[in-house]
Amino acid sequence: MLMLPLSPEICRNIALVLSTGESSRRDLNALCLTCKPFQHEATPYLYEHLTFSDPVTCLLACKTIMLEPRLGLHTRSFAFNPYPRVTDVNVIPRAFWEAIQSALHMMHNLDILVLSDFCFANSWILDSEQSESGNQITFQLKNAHLRISCDAYLLRFLNTQNSLRSLQLYGGVDESEASTPPIIPPLPSLQSFEGPLLFGSRLLIGCSTTAQVRQVQLVVDCERTSAVPILSGVAEALRGTLQNVNILDLHGEDTGIDVLALFANSGASLKHIGTLPYPITGRHRFHKHLITLTPTLRSIDLDLTRWNPAPTPSAAQRVLADELRTYCPSLRVIVFWIAGARVRWTIHSNGTNVGGNGGLDQWTTRVDGDLGQGEAWS
């Protein structure tokens, strides 16, 4: 008995439905083995999003794309993020990274790239000048999450990315490149940056004339005496566009006050700022700069981990939250980091009926982590 040929539209719709399920990769693999028409329609979805934690599986996929370059045209996101506790990242050979480099050259439509090199020694795979095959990277990323060394290889790669909107970097500055004048990429589409302060400051200041950076998270990787002047340059360069800023690993109450003063006096219309050490005493210096950020500031993250005793009771936190809103009434969300826990205080007002309290302002809390106490009071 002869079977009628399957409608391409039916095959396409079936592949589309299976690609959105929780077990989409397993289902698409099974569909490819059914018949040629299903394989034809399922293959693009199978290679659209490639995510790997196992180096062996990742290597097989890269070799497949190297043998069949047309498959790389379907890839919109590629991620390799091994688990260091499961995979010995120190024994991943150079040939593995060469395979990733060759596969990336075939992914002309790539939008999202996630790479984790825990050895911080293979950023060269992003530099087309280091390609033995002579192939070039042609994709224009929208999002990049890179755990690699921040060096000249990375800068040359970023110099080719004109559509990049979000950049996250987890890696230190290569000491051998510190004395070399950096190649600052323009990054005209950049809106969000997360990364180390020393590298990120040069990047942000350099591209501030071409990009519209709105969100920044910087990890302080230098001494306090150096961090404050560097942050001053960032605040000045981004004052016309910056809306949300987080500074991590700040130490010292005076440092928190200095950083708050930098952004308050820069003229930026901030909606969020964090994570600043909140002084135990002499908080009037902090409040003086907080007033300047009214009425645009909506949320703030404060580090209270060095307070002794820690304000773990909800009543103590409520007093601090009310104190902050006295000087900055526009605040709607206040986050306290206390004893390893994240406590979020949110104000509901303007007629919102919370807890049956009519239209009066009302705080609600949420605790993530262990405060060493009972249920949060609100």
Q: Averaging pLDDT over each range in 40-44, 171-175, 338-342, which range is the top one?
A: 338-342
pLDDT at 179 over 60: no
Closest by CA to 193, choosing from 169, 170, 171, 173, is: 169
Average pLDDT along the chain:
86
SS3 of residue 201 by DSSP = helix
Residue 328 pLDDT level (bands cut at 50, 70, 90): very high
Q: What is the pLDDT of residue 7?
A: 67
User: Rg for the chain (alpha carbons), in Å?
Assistant: 25
Who has greater pLDDT, 355 or 182? 182
Residue 372 pLDDT level (bands cut at 50, 70, 90): low
Closest by CA to 345, choosing from 359, 360, 332, is: 332
Average pLDDT over residues 13-25: 67
Q: How far is it, in rounded angstroms, from Cα 115 to Cα 239?
A: 31
pTM for the model: 0.86
Q: What is the pLDDT of residue 111?
A: 97
Q: What is the pLDDT of residue 355?
A: 43
Residue 11 pLDDT level (bands cut at 50, 70, 90): low
Average pLDDT over residues 200-214: 91
